[in-house]
Structure 1
Amino acid sequence: MNGSRESVTERIHHRLARLYGTPRSGRLCRRLELLAGRYREDLPTLAGEPCWDQRTSVLIAYGDIVRSDGEPPLETLHRFLDERVGEAIRHLHLLPFFPSSSDEGFSVIDFRRVDPALGEWRQVESLARRWPLLVDLVLNHASSQSEWFHHFCAGVAPYRDYFITVDPEQWDLSQVVRPRSSPLLTPATTPWGVRQVWTTFSADQVDLNFANPDVLFEFLDILLLYILHGARIIRLDAIAYLWKRSGTPCIHLPETHQVVKLLRDVVDWLAPGTLILTETNVPHAENVSYFGKGDEAHLIYQFSLPPLLLHALLRGDASHLIHWLEHLEAPPPGCSYLNFTASHDGIGVRPLEGLLPEEELEWLVEQIHRRGGLVSHYQAPDGSLRPYELNISWFEAMGDGSTPANGEQIARHLCAQTLMLSLQGVPALWFHLLTATPNDREAVERTGQARSINRHRWDLVHLEELLEHHEATRSVFDGLLQRLRIRAAEPLFSPEVPQRIERIDSRIVALVREREGERLLVLANLSGERLEAALPDSLGGRWRDLLQPECRTEDEAAVPLAPWQVRWLREDADAGGRCPPPR
C-alpha cells in the first residue's frame, strides 16, 4: 500500500476499534477490504480536482416533482431540467427515490432499488451524467414494511439484531432528545415475545442498531452502490440520532461522530472527491461540531440561516442576522457550508436557540400562521412541546398573508435567494423556490402531514403554462436562473473566498468577498424602504454591478438601494458612470 492509503486505512482501523473494540477491529478491517474489492475498479475518482468552485450549486427535487402522463417521472424531470435549467445548476439533490412506506421517501423499504413508480437505475444514472447527484443515505432507520424488519420480527439472522430494542425497566430514557412528540418506543411481536423497538421519528421508521457491525457494513455497501450509480455528494439523513446509550440524550454521541468520520475515510480511500454532507437540524454550535477537526463532514447545512433570514425580511431589520454572520466561524480547510433558505422539510427553529430572543420567535410563529403556514413541535427533555419547524412555502412567507402575489412579494423572494447565493459556501435551492410555489393546503389535508404544504407536485403542462404566462412564476424562475449564471462566472463567489461583514445599517446586510487584491461588495436591503448604503472609506473606489451591468459607481459615499434590492458590486478600476436612484 502507498503512504496515503496506509494513512487512511490506519484511521479506519482505529475508528472500528473505538466503535466495536480492538479484538474485533482486525477482522472488520479484513471484511472491509473484501467489500472494497467488489467496488474498487468501478468507482469514480476525482482526486486532484477541486471539491467546489463558484459554479457549484445544488437543486433539491423529488423524482416526481414534475409529472407528465405516460412518462416515468425521472424522465420528465430530466427533460424539464434539460430544457429549462441546463447548466445553471451543477448538482441535483434527488430526494429518496427508493421504495418507501411513508415520510415522502424517508421510510425506506429497500435501499438498493429504485421505486418503480419513479423509474429505474438507468434513469437515475442518466440524470447523474448531466447533474452529478446528491443522494440521501437514510441510515438512522428503516421502514417497518421492509424485508429487514419483517425478518427481525420473524427472528431470522442476521436481521434479528438489526434494530434497537429497549427494556424500559432497564434503560434510562429520561434525557432523550428527539424531534418528534410521538411515542419513542413501539411494540413489535417477535419469537421471543413483544419487544419495544426504538422509533425516533414515527412508528413506521424503526431505528437501526449500529452497535451491530453488520448494520454498519450493510450501509457501507449501500454507500458504495450509490457512488457507483452517480452520487457525488452523500447526505447523511438524521445522522445526529444514530447511536443510543442509556442515560444519555442519544444525540451527537461520540460514536455517532466516529461513524461519520469512518464514512468520510471510506470515501476518501475508495472514491476520492465524493463528499459527505451531514443533516443535523440543531442549534448552531452543535451543528458545526460535525466538521470535527476537518476530518468529519465535508459539508454541513447552514441551518441557522433560513429562520434568521426569514425573521429579518419579515421584520425589515437584519440586526440578529448581521450579528450571527459577524461571528460565523470559517469552516476548516477542505470543508464548506451548504447555504439554503428552504428545502423539502420545514424551516427549523431549533437552530435559533441562543440567536433570537424568545419573544421574537413567538412573533415569527405568529407571522407564519398569518400567512397560512403551520408549526410543528418536538418534545423537550422536560416533557414540554416546543416549536421545531415552520411549515410554509417560502414564497408564501414573503407575502403579507392577505393580498395576491405582487411585485413586492417577488422582490422580497428574490432578495432572500440572492443574499443566500452571496454567502461563502455552496448554495442549494429547493425546486419550489424557482417556481414561486404557494402553500399546498390540499396536500396537507390529503396526507395529514404539515410538511406537505411545501411539497407540491407539478403537472408539467400546467407548470409550462405558468412559466410562460404567470408573472410571479416567470419573474422568479428567470430571475434566479440569471443570478445563478452570473454567480457561476464570478470567481469571487467560490466557497474558498472568505467573507467579512461591514456594519452599515441594521436594515442592510453588507459583506465583502475578497481574495488576492480583488473585492466583491454585496449590499442587501432587507427592508421595504428606499435606502442609501453609506460606505466606509475602506470601501471607496469604483464598482461595477454584476446584476445591472449598465450600473457603475465611482467614489460614491452612498450607494442607492431600492426596497429589497441586492447589489453585487465588483471592484473595477475601469468602471465609470453612475447608478440611477432606486425606483
Structure 2
Amino acid sequence: MQAPTSADRQLLDKLRHHVEAIYHDTAIELETCELAVQLQRLMRLENTAAEPQQHVNHWSQRDAIVMTYGDTLLREGEAPLVTLKKFFDDYADEVVTGVHILPFYPWSSDDGFSVLDYSSVNESLGDWENIAAIAEDYRLMADLVINHCSGRSLWFENFLRGRSPGKDYFFTASPDDDLSAVVRPRTSDLLRKVETFEGAKYVWCTFSHDQVDLDFRNPEVLKQFVSIIRHYLDNGVRIFRLDAVAFLWKVPGTSSLNLEETHELVRLLRTLIEYAVPDALLITETNIPNRQNLSYFGNANEAHCVYNFSLPPLLVNALVTGDCSHLKMWMMSMPPAQNGTAYFNFIASHDGIGLRPAEGLLSDGELEALVETMRNFGGHVSYRALEDGQNKPYEINISLFDALQGTTSGADGWGQERFVCAHAIMLGLEGIPGIYIHSLLGTRNDYDRVENSGHYRAINRHQWDYDQLVAELDSQGSAHGKVFTRIKDLLQIRQRQAAFHPNATQFTLHLGDAIFGFWRQSFDRRQSVFVISNVSDRVLPLMLSDINLIGTDDWADLISGTQFHSREQVIDIQPYQTLWITNAAGNEGV
C-alpha cells in the first residue's frame, strides 16, 4: 500500500476537524478519525496529489448559466434531454457556458424536489448518457436536494419498517417540543404523524408532508450524500446547488435555521469536492434575509457562490415604481466577493420572486404594493406561517415577462423594454449571471399549468413544443424571437468586456432615484464600463460629466454603438434604456 502523501494527511486533518465540529454535541458515539477516513474513501481521495489552491476564480466574464427543467422543451419521439442539448447547440452555444438542469431524478412531487432515487435519471427525461453529453459541452449544474427526500422513497419506506438503508435517516420530534421559534417557508404543519415498526412517530417536514427532512445527526446520512456527490462528479456535474441547505440541521427550541452545524457541513462538502475536482463549485440556495444569505460565503471556505436573492424583488420593485433608491442602497451595502467566491445573480427562477430577501430593505407597505401590482399582472402569492399564527406573503409567482408588463399604475406599452432593461442591469453587475430559460425566451404566465397542477409555481414552468418554439425564434415579428435576440446580443457583448469579470471592481453611482448606475473596472484598470439605466417611463437627461468620464479617453455605448466625444455632452436616456458606456482603449469589443 502506498504511504500517505502530505496532501493526504492535510485532507484527513481537515476532515477530522469538520467532523468534530459537526458532531461535538450529539448523542451519537463515533470515532471521528474513522469517519474522516470513510469520507475520504467514499470520495476516492486516497493518495491525494496536492492541496487545492485557495482564492482562485474558476469563472470569467464569458460565463453565463441557463437554468431549466429537463423537460421544458418537448419534441415528439425524442428524449427531452436530447432536445434540450439540441436547443443549446443550435441557438445558444456561443453565449451559454453552463446549464443548470433542475432535479432530473425520479420524484413524487414539487416538480423534482421530492426525490425518490438520487442515483437515477428520470426515465421520462433520458439517461445518464444524455446528462454526460450535456456535461461534455457545457458546465453542468445539478441540484443536491440535501435537506429532505420523498415520503415515498425507499429510504422512507425502510424508515417505517425499521430496515436499512433508511432506518435512522429521518428527523423526528415530539409535538410537546418547543417548536415555536422554527422558521420555515410554509403554512402546513411542521410535524407529520406516521406509523413505524416502533409505533407512532412525528417526522419533521420543513416544506411539505411528502418532503421529509433527513437527520444529519446520523453520520450514515452524511456518507450517503458523499457517495451521491461522487456519483454526480463521475457523470460530469461540476456545480452543485445545495437546495434549501439553510434548514439542514435542526434543534428543537431554536429557529433550526442557519445553525453552526449547517455551516460546518457546507465547509466539509466544499473540502471534499475541491480535493476531488479543484474547479468544481458549490452554490448555496438560501432564500432568506440578505445578511443571513451572505453568511454562506463563510471566510471564503463555504460556498463558492451564493444566490443573490435580494436582487429580484428589489430590481422588479425599481422598474415598476420608477424609483431605484432601495436597489441603490442595497447595492451600496453589499461587500465585494473575495477572490474564489462570487455572487450568483438571477432575476427569475423556477420558483418565484422571493419576498423574505427584501425584508428590512422594503417596508411592509412597499411589499404590499409590490404584491398587489403583481396580482394585477396575473401573478399569485404564496404564504408562510409566522410564530403568532398569522400568514405573511413569502413569494410572488409570476413569469418575469408579465411581472414587468407595466408599473404600479397598470400595464403599458413598455413591457419588452422594461424586461430587457432588467437583464442589461443584471448582466452588468458583479457576479455570475444565471438566466432562467423562460426569461431567455420571453415566456408568459401559464395559467393552464397552474389549473392542471394546483400549484402557483407552475405559472412560470411552461413546457414548449420545440418545433413551435423554433418557429417563434426564427420569426422576425415574434415577441419571443425579439427578446431572445436582444438578450443574446447583450450576452455576446458582455463576454468581451474585462470590466464585466464577476470579481471586477464595482462602485455605485448617485444619479437620482430614476437613473440606476454603477461603475465596473477591470483588474488591470484599463477598461471601465459605466452601466446607466433609466428605470422610469420618462425620457431623462444625463450629463456625462456626472459619471466622471476621463476626458482623455474616447467613450462609446457598447449596446447602441453611440460615440461620445465630450464630457460636457448631455444625452437623453429613453424610458428603460440601458447604456454600457466604456472607454474604447480598454475595451476588447469596440
TM-score range, shorter chain: over 0.9
The residue aligned with 1:152 is 159
Q: Which amino acid aligns with 2:108?
A: S
The residue aligned with 2:64 is 57
Task: Report Cα offsets for 1:102-161 as digits up to 9, x if no partner.
Answer: 000000000000000000000000011111101100010010111111111111134110
Indicate whether 1:114 and 2:116 are aligned. Answer: no
The residue aligned with 1:578 is none
CA change 1:495–1:5 in 2 (3 A) is farther
Indicate whether 1:205 and 2:215 are aligned. Answer: no
Q: Quick one: which of 415, 418, 422 aligns to 2:428?
A: 422
The residue aligned with 2:279 is 273
The residue aligned with 1:529 is 538
Shift of 1:471: 2.8
Indicate whether 1:10 and 2:13 are aligned. Answer: yes
TM-score normalized with structure 2 length: 0.93
Q: Quick check: 1:46–1:273 contact (8 Å CA) kept in 2? A: no
CA change 1:537–1:384 in 2 (3 A) is closer
The whole-number CA distance in structure 1 between the counterparts of 2:510 and 2:223 is: 50
Q: Quick one: which of 525, 530, 533 aligns to 1:517?
A: 525
The residue aligned with 1:491 is 498
User: Gaps spanning 5+ residues in structure 2: where?
Assistant: none
Q: Quick one: which of 522, 544, 554 aligns to 2:566?
A: 554
Indicate whether 1:246 and 2:256 are aligned. Answer: no
The residue aligned with 1:570 is 582
For the residue of structure 1 that corresponds to 2:541, the secondary structure is strand
Q: Which amino acid aligns with 2:368?
A: E
Shift of 1:405: 9.4
Aligned residues: 572
Q: Quick check: 1:540–1:557 contact (8 Å CA) kept in 2? A: no
User: Gaps spanning 5+ residues in structure 1: where?
Assistant: 576-583
More divergent stretch after superposition (254-263 vs 12-21): 12-21
Q: Which amino acid aligns with 1:417?
A: H
CA change 1:187–1:63 in 2 (3 A) is same
Q: Which amino acid aligns with 1:247?
A: G
The residue aligned with 2:22 is 19
Identity, % of aligned positions: 40
Indicate whether 1:224 and 2:230 are aligned. Answer: yes
Shift of 1:2: 4.9
Q: Which amino acid aligns with 2:485?
A: D
The residue aligned with 1:288 is 294
The whole-number CA distance in structure 1 between the counterparts of 2:566 and 2:219 is: 64
The whole-number CA distance in structure 2 between the counterparts of 1:504 and 1:397 is: 25
Shift of 1:87: 2.4
Shift of 1:47: 9.6
More divergent stretch after superposition (220-229 vs 551-560): 551-560
Q: Quick one: which of 379, 400, 408 aligns to 1:373?
A: 379
The residue aligned with 2:37 is 30
CA change 1:99–1:401 in 2 (3 A) is farther
Indicate whether 1:390 and 2:399 are aligned. Answer: no
For the residue of structure 2 that corresponds to 1:115, the secondary structure is coil
The whole-number CA distance in structure 1 between the counterparts of 2:408 and 2:281 is: 43
Q: Quick check: 1:151–1:159 contact (8 Å CA) kept in 2? A: yes
Q: Quick one: which of 466, 478, 483 aligns to 1:476?
A: 483
Q: Quick one: which of 84, 88, 91 aligns to 1:84?
A: 91
TM-score normalized with structure 1 length: 0.94
Q: Which amino acid aligns with 2:397?
A: N
The whole-number CA distance in structure 2 between the counterparts of 1:133 and 1:80 is: 15
* Residue pairs, 1:122-137, within 5 angstroms: 122-137=129-144
For the residue of structure 1 that corresponds to 2:340, the secondary structure is coil
Indicate whether 1:316 and 2:322 are aligned. Answer: yes
Shift of 1:549: 2.5
For the residue of structure 1 that corresponds to 2:360, the secondary structure is coil
Q: Which amino acid aligns with 2:242?
A: L
Shift of 1:573: 5.3
The residue aligned with 1:538 is 548
The whole-number CA distance in structure 2 between the counterparts of 1:105 and 1:319 is: 38
The whole-number CA distance in structure 2 between the counterparts of 1:333 and 1:500 is: 17
The whole-number CA distance in structure 1 between the counterparts of 2:15 and 2:504 is: 32
Q: Quick check: 1:372–1:401 contact (8 Å CA) kept in 2? A: no
For the residue of structure 1 that corresponds to 2:406, the secondary structure is coil
Shift of 1:188: 1.4
Shift of 1:406: 7.9
